[in-house]
Each structure stands twice: as structure tokens, then as C-alpha cells.
Chains A and B, each alone.
Chain A
Amino acid sequence: MNEKELIEKIRESVIQGRINSEDEGFDDGYEGQPATVELIEEAVGNNVDVRGIVIGGLTSGMDVVGKNFETGKYLIPDMLASAEAVGAAMDILAPHLERAGVESKGKFVIATVKGDLHDIGKNIVSIMLKGAGYDVIDLGTDVPAEKIAATAAEQKPRFLGLSALLTTTMREMEGIIHLLKNNGVRGDVKVLIGGAPTSREFAEKIGADAHCADAFQAIEFTNSVGVA
């Protein structure tokens, strides 16, 4: 397989939402064929230009996935499968991208706040952001404000995503923003909040930069802000 064919295969694998060869695709008949992980490894082994892989394979594939979702052909599971495939590809490509001087779209720290164990929404946002090319640091659930603020100071992310599903735990968010200010990093990080009880009004009240109802709004916001 030459370079062009390999990148096209990677793109196809992303569209099909396949991480490795045992995965099924959106369409029938893919099981057993090399998928994103195997193809990326082959490409890296063949010294294929990593920019070409990212732009021609991963990003181009996700563009098709996004369009298929908009038209209703794809549903959330299909989007997530493709985003996970891109995420797996990025894990392999990360050191190569760094060596090639290619920057990611930015670091994104994400966490469910203290006292709250809900993580479905947060996980979906994580997968989708990773699939969209962000360097995601997922701190998990029930994360103390101090840990979030410390990670923000240490990792210097472009974005911080806070999730809460309870009216009792969403109040934590205001304290975290307060800590970011105290640590002197608030100006360097955009804070996105989400979760069922949150709202745009609540985001404004606590001084967050955006309220995102779902992963798509999160990506829309981060892309609108641009890479640091």
C-alpha cells in the first residue's frame, strides 16, 4: 500500500468507526481487516508524514462523520466510535507529532466536580474532544477543587471543562473558578461548564466562559476560541 492509499484507508477506518481489526464498521464486511490502530502503526513504520495522516486521514474522516451525523445517517454511537478511533490514533501519533513540531489543538482538562460521581456526559465530551484533536486530560469524577486548580496551574491547559449532574454539586464550580483566580491562572484558561442542572445564566453568574449543553457545543466553543 502506498502512502496515499494508506492515508485513504485510515480515513475510511475513521469513517467506519473502527479502532482495531476485530471491530465492526458502520457498514458490513469490515471485521478482520486492518483498522485505525493497525493502519496508523503501519503508516508510522513506513515514515508517512504525520501531518498528512492527521489532515488527510483523521481530520478528513471526522469531517465526513460530522456531516453524516448532521444528515441523520449517523447517531451518537457512530460519532463516538469514530472519535474513539481518532483518539486511539492520536495516542500512537503523539510522540511523532511532537518530534515533527506539530502542536495539538490545545490541552483540555476535564473533571466531574467533588461530590458527584456522574460521568457519562463528561466521558462523551472527553472522547469527542480527543477525536477533534485536543489533548485531553481527564481527571475523572468526584475531583476536589484543589486538585483541579492545581492541575490547571501545572498543565497550563487552554481549556477546563467542569461537569456536574446535581444541583447540590454544581455549586462547586464557582469555588473552582475562585481558586483559579487565586492561583493566578484564570486568565490563561477558558472554563466550560456542563451538566443537566447548569445553564447559560448559571455560567454567567459564576464567571465561567461558556455553558455547553453537549459535546458538540463544547467543540464548537473550543474551535471558535482557536488554538493558543
Chain B
Amino acid sequence: MTGDFRPGVIVRPYERLTKEEVGAIDEASLSILKETGIICFNEEALSLFREKGCTVEPVDERSSKVKIPSKTMKDALSTVPSVVKLGARDPRNTLILDSKVPRIYFGSGSETNVWLDTKIETFVSATNGERKRDLPVFVEERGNVERLATSAKLAEELDSLDFFIRPVNIQDEDITEMNHDVNKFYISLGNMTKHVQAGLTNLDQLDNVIRLAEIVAGGKEAFRDNPIISFITCAVKSPLQMVDDATRKLIEFAKRGLPFVVSSSPQGGSTAPIQEAGMVAQINAEILSGIALAQIVNPGSPVLYGSVPVRARMDNLHDMYGAPEFNQYNIDCVQMARYYGIPSYSTAGVGDSSTPGVQATIEKFFTHIPVAMSGAQYIHYSFGLLDRTNTFCPVQAVLDNQHIGMIKRFLAGPRMGPDDFNESLAQINKVMGSGQKLYARFVRKGLRTGQVYSHYPFESRDGEDRVIEMALDHMNGLLSRPGKDLSPGIEDEIFAQVPGLLPRLKKQRK
């Protein structure tokens, strides 16, 4: 692949599993697909699987069990592209996902219903009226079109964010099932120049969404070369059930050659075994079944291996993201994707905590770092998510941006070229010939060029913990920058050709 694309960071992957263990998981997954089978609720998929030699056994009037022979599975895997290009309004934001190159990208995600606003209020000590502190107060709001636009604008400005999956749902009264898709894609594309990815609410809206993307990209041909949007399908509901609606979407995306994620999200302890071997064998089988279907529909269909394995909390059976098992499951899946030669869509950075703070930061860092180290090409859920995946907090996204930037810097390859040594040796000679023997003055160039990490930007000078307050100020600064609006001509064309867009979303221009 040549041309402009986001550099990401190429890591030396941390691998949890041995080659033998990867082979054992592959074998276990193939055995699940061949012997246990997948329960399928979609007629077209059943027919396609049957044509490829799979056994189809009726379960009830709505579903049948598909047993996929290993040869069918392996044939399907042989046509999966190892490199997937995800385009962007600004071609410099293109992502190249190469299964052989552990170049990591981070993005947002989850489509939460709750938007968590941050306000700073002054509190007075109950025991000493002279003591006052400015503290953050969090207010829950409903996601809507304005907030989605704000999140997209913010995501555009967050330099560590490489791609955008809308982090907030649009729940306005004038948003319906029929206009949901066009409006969410329009708002996203209209406020940012990075890659936009989303699930599709209604398959009937796919033509309109594609038309919208083609206009923004510059035409049908331009969109094919520069797929500025892509999709997510969760065709398999754990455990091992291929559901009708999402499978229809998967088949349609594959037919059209659109890039999309085949994602599965089992919960260890409820919808999958809690044991690592069982969890990974099952999710791998689930993802492979979806990928196989895509390749049967259209060999060469560009897909991402989408893994979102989580742990169940045993006090309420909610998802738990800040658990050690989460990292184990996810890193294993990244290795499995690499084994099959498919770019990995992975997961990191979700806080179980419901507000920003110490717990959220620990939980996020605890998964951001190891999953990044595993070399997953495309890491979603990484910005602003709290209360598992129920809340999006933009200030938290600003904090996550900072922390992911630190992680990317940490994982960047060592600079050990001849020039680096020559420069360093000259420096050592100079300093050793000086009176005070201090290297500080030689740090300046690195500080200015950004090669040297300066300091945590949300650290207050007075020693008080003002991290959230400072992140809020920073966010407001980012949001005050000029937006990346579509040109008036493009906007007019979209409103003329794409039905269902809310008229109030058209930018008011003089």
C-alpha cells in the first residue's frame, strides 16, 4: 500500500499464547463449528452454507443448526484479504490495517445512551468555612444529534484518536428507525475528516447511507478507492447463534464489497465459558463462522476479525472490563486474528467506573496498555467510555486521548540508528568537558520537536488535583477551534439526494 495514511505505531507484539496453544484453540474452534455447530436463524445464510457442503439440521421452525466442515472453513479463510484499507475525508487519515504488520490504531465506540457533562463547582468545607475547593460535578444527559456532533468535532481534534465510531446514540424525538442511519452518518462525516464506522440500524437505509458517503468522498469511484465509512455486524449472538437481522446485513455488506467488522461479544461466565481456553475457542468459532459466510457470499470480502470478549461480574452479571481476564481473552483473540492473517478489531479502555477519576483511569490504562502491546490493528471503545459501555463522557475522552498518546509514545520503536549514537556520543563528550556535567541543555531540541515527553498536561501548579477541571478547559479549547464542515456545495447535494436528513442539521450559513 502506498500513499498517505495515519502512521499509527508499529509495536513488537506481546504474545500470551505459544504457537501450540494457538493451534489448540484453532482446533477447538473448528471442532465447535464441525461438531457442535452454529444455530442459524437466517434462511439465506442456511442456503449458502448448505451449498458449500455444510450440514444443516432443523432445530425448530425458526432456526437450524449449521455444522461447518473444517475444509469449508479453511477454504473460506483462504480468500480473506490480509490488508484492509479504511479511507477518510482527509486521505491523510486513511488507515491501513495489515494483518502482518502490528500497526496499532485507537478509536472510539459504543453508541451509549448517556452523555456525561462535567461542571466545576466550588465547595466549602463543613468544618472550616475558609477552605474552598473547586470540584467536578457530573450531570447525566441524553444523547442527541447535537451531542453526537460535538463528540465528532472533539474526536477530530483528539490527536491520539485514529478512527470514529459514534460514542453516543441519537435519541431525539424526530429520529426514527428509518432516518436514524442517514442522520448518524451525516453528523459524523459532517464534523470530522477521520474514518467513520458504525453499525447499521436498518438495512433498507444502506443505499441512502452509501449515497451519502459517495457524495462526501467525491463519487462512486472515489468511494470505492477511499471507503470513508465502514460497518460493524454482530451476526453471531453468543453462544453460537447467527441471528436473522444482523446476518442479513452481513450478507449485504459482503455482496457489495464494503469493509466491515465481523464482531462477537460473549460474556465469560454467562454466554461463554469463563475459562480462557473455552472462551477463546468459542468466540473464535463465532467470528470464524461470520467470516466464512462473508467469504462464501463474496470471496475476498474485506473483513476485520472483531473480538469483544468480556467477563461477567458475579454480583450482577454485568459486563466487566477492568478484569485481568479481559486482557487475557482479548490478547488471545488478537493472536488468533494474526494466525488467520486477518486484521484485528479489538477492544480496550472501558471504565467500569461511572465517573472519571482514579478507578476509571486504572481500569482504562489496565486494558489500553496490554491490548496495544498485543499489536491489535484497530482498537475500539478507547475514548470516554464509563459505566461499562453505557456512558460517554467527553472530558474522559480528553483524558483518554492524553493517556493513549503516552502509550503510543512508549510503544514507538527504539531510535538506535547511527545518527542517534553519533549525536549522543558528541553530547557525552561535550558534557564531560564542561564544568557542571549536566545534559539538560541538550534536551531542548527534543522538547520542542515533541520527541521528548514534557509532563502530564493536567497537573496543576498549586499541587491540588485539578486534572478533570484542566481537562475540561482543554476540551473547551479544542471545541472552540473551527470545525471541519463539509463545503456548502457538498451539503446541498447531500440534502438534495439523501432522504431523511433532519433539516435542522444543515449548517446555517450567511
Question: Footprint of B on A, CB under 8 Å?
Answer: 17, 24, 26, 75-78, 80-81, 84, 120, 123-124, 126-127, 138
> Is B509 located at the chain interface by the 8 A CB criterion?
no
> Is B126 located at the chain interface by the 8 A CB criterion?
no
* Chain B, interface residues (CB within 8 Å), range: 10 to 19
CB distance from A36 to the nearest CB of B (A): 13
Q: What chain B residues lie within 8 Å of A120 (beta carbons)?
A: 438
**Nearest-neighbor residue (CB-CB) of B446 within chain A:** A77
Question: In the complex, what distance in Å separates the CA atom of A26 from the CA atom of B437?
Answer: 20
Question: In the complex, what distance in Å separates the CA atom of A123 from the CA atom of B438?
Answer: 8
List 15 A–B pairs whose Cβ atoms lie within 8 Å, in order of A's numbering.
Answer: A17-B441, A77-B443, A77-B444, A77-B447, A78-B444, A80-B438, A80-B440, A81-B441, A81-B444, A84-B441, A123-B438, A124-B436, A124-B438, A138-B435, A138-B436
> Is B448 located at the chain interface by the 8 A CB criterion?
yes
CB distance from A141 to the nearest CB of B (A): 11
Do A127 and B438 touch across chains, with their CB atoms under 8 A apart?
A: yes
**Nearest-neighbor residue (CB-CB) of A19 within chain B:** B441
Question: In the complex, what distance in Å separates the CA atom of A76 from the CA atom of B443?
Answer: 10
Q: What chain A residues lie within 8 Å of B448 (beta carbons)?
A: 26
Do A24 and B438 touch across chains, with their CB atoms under 8 A apart?
A: no
CB distance from A101 to the nearest CB of B (A): 27
Question: In the complex, what distance in Å separates the CA atom of A84 from the CA atom of B436?
Answer: 10
Question: In the complex, what distance in Å separates the CA atom of A152 from the CA atom of B436?
Answer: 21
Secondary structure of the A contact surface, majority rule: helix
Do B445 and A24 touch across chains, with their CB atoms under 8 A apart?
A: yes
Question: In the complex, what distance in Å separates the CA atom of A77 from the CA atom of B443?
Answer: 7
CB distance from B433 to the nearest CB of A (A): 12
CB distance from B170 to the nearest CB of A (A): 40
Question: In the complex, what distance in Å separates the CA atom of A42 from the CA atom of B454?
Answer: 37
Question: In the complex, what distance in Å separates the CA atom of A91 from the CA atom of B441?
Answer: 19
Candidate in A77, A127, A138 with the most chain B CB atoms within 10 angstroms: A77
Q: What chain B residues lie within 8 Å of A123 (beta carbons)?
A: 436-438
Q: What chain A residues lie within 8 Å of B447 (beta carbons)?
A: 75, 77
Question: In the complex, what distance in Å separates the CA atom of A75 from the CA atom of B442?
Answer: 12
Q: A24-B444, A80-B438 are in contact. List 20 more A-B contacts (CB 8 A).
A: A17-B441, A75-B447, A77-B441, A77-B442, A77-B444, A77-B447, A80-B440, A80-B441, A81-B440, A81-B441, A81-B444, A84-B441, A120-B438, A123-B436, A123-B437, A124-B436, A124-B440, A126-B435, A127-B436, A138-B436
CB distance from A165 to the nearest CB of B (A): 16
Candidate in B441, B442, B443 with the most chain A CB atoms within 10 angstroms: B441
**Nearest-neighbor residue (CB-CB) of A23 within chain B:** B441
**Nearest-neighbor residue (CB-CB) of B426 within chain A:** A22
Contact with A along B453-465 (1 / 0, CB 8 A): 0100000000000
CB distance from B45 to the nearest CB of A (A): 60
Q: What chain B residues lie within 8 Å of A80 (beta carbons)?
A: 438, 440-441
**Nearest-neighbor residue (CB-CB) of B461 within chain A:** A72
Q: What chain B residues lie within 8 Å of A81 (beta carbons)?
A: 440-441, 444
Question: In the complex, what distance in Å separates the CA atom of A77 from the CA atom of B444?
Answer: 6
B window 101-158: CB within 8 A of A: none
CB distance from B451 to the nearest CB of A (A): 13
Question: In the complex, what distance in Å separates the CA atom of A81 from the CA atom of B438?
Answer: 10
Question: In the complex, what distance in Å separates the CA atom of A146 from the CA atom of B477?
Answer: 58
Question: In the complex, what distance in Å separates the CA atom of A17 from the CA atom of B445?
Answer: 12
**Nearest-neighbor residue (CB-CB) of A28 within chain B:** B448
Do B436 and A77 touch across chains, with their CB atoms under 8 A apart?
A: no
Q: What chain A residues lie within 8 Å of B445 (beta carbons)?
A: 24
CB distance from A123 to the nearest CB of B (A): 4
CB distance from A163 to the nearest CB of B (A): 13
Q: List 4 A-B pairs, minimum CB-CB distance, nearest first.
A: A81-B441, A123-B436, A77-B440, A77-B443
**Nearest-neighbor residue (CB-CB) of B439 within chain A:** A77
Q: What chain B residues lie within 8 Å of A26 (beta carbons)?
A: 444, 448
Do A76 and B436 touch across chains, with their CB atoms under 8 A apart?
A: no
Q: What chain A residues lie within 8 Å of B437 (beta carbons)?
A: 123
Q: What chain A residues lie within 8 Å of B436 (beta carbons)?
A: 84, 123-124, 126-127, 138
Candidate in A80, A120, A124 with the most chain B CB atoms within 10 angstroms: A80
Contact with A along B359-383 (1 / 0, CB 8 A): 0000000000000000000000000
CB distance from B268 to the nearest CB of A (A): 47
Candidate in B435, B437, B447 with the most chain A CB atoms within 10 angstroms: B435
Q: What chain B residues lie within 8 Å of A124 (beta carbons)?
A: 436, 438, 440
Known: A24-B445, A26-B448. A75 touches B454 (CB 8 A): yes
CB distance from A215 to the nearest CB of B (A): 12
**Nearest-neighbor residue (CB-CB) of B445 within chain A:** A24
Question: In the complex, what distance in Å separates the CA atom of A124 from the CA atom of B447?
Answer: 19
Question: In the complex, what distance in Å separates the CA atom of A80 from the CA atom of B448?
Answer: 16
**Nearest-neighbor residue (CB-CB) of A138 within chain B:** B435
Question: In the complex, what distance in Å separates the CA atom of A199 from the CA atom of B447?
Answer: 32
Question: In the complex, what distance in Å separates the CA atom of A17 from the CA atom of B442?
Answer: 11
Question: In the complex, what distance in Å separates the CA atom of A124 from the CA atom of B440?
Answer: 9
Question: In the complex, what distance in Å separates the CA atom of A75 from the CA atom of B444?
Answer: 8
Question: In the complex, what distance in Å separates the CA atom of A216 from the CA atom of B454?
Answer: 20
Candidate in B437, B438, B445 with the most chain A CB atoms within 10 angstroms: B438
Q: What chain B residues lie within 8 Å of A17 (beta carbons)?
A: 441, 444
CB distance from B427 to the nearest CB of A (A): 12
**Nearest-neighbor residue (CB-CB) of A82 within chain B:** B441
CB distance from B461 to the nearest CB of A (A): 9
Do A76 and B435 touch across chains, with their CB atoms under 8 A apart?
A: no
CB distance from B449 to the nearest CB of A (A): 10
Q: What chain A residues lie within 8 Å of B444 (beta carbons)?
A: 17, 24, 26, 77-78, 81
Question: In the complex, what distance in Å separates the CA atom of A77 from the CA atom of B431?
Answer: 14
Q: What chain B residues lie within 8 Å of A84 (beta carbons)?
A: 436, 441
Candidate in A123, A126, A138 with the most chain B CB atoms within 10 angstroms: A123
**Nearest-neighbor residue (CB-CB) of A24 within chain B:** B445
CB distance from A208 to the nearest CB of B (A): 23
CB distance from B443 to the nearest CB of A (A): 4
**Nearest-neighbor residue (CB-CB) of A122 within chain B:** B436
CB distance from B304 to the nearest CB of A (A): 42
CB distance from B435 to the nearest CB of A (A): 7
Question: In the complex, what distance in Å separates the CA atom of A127 from the CA atom of B441?
Answer: 12
CB distance from B450 to the nearest CB of A (A): 13
CB distance from A85 to the nearest CB of B (A): 9
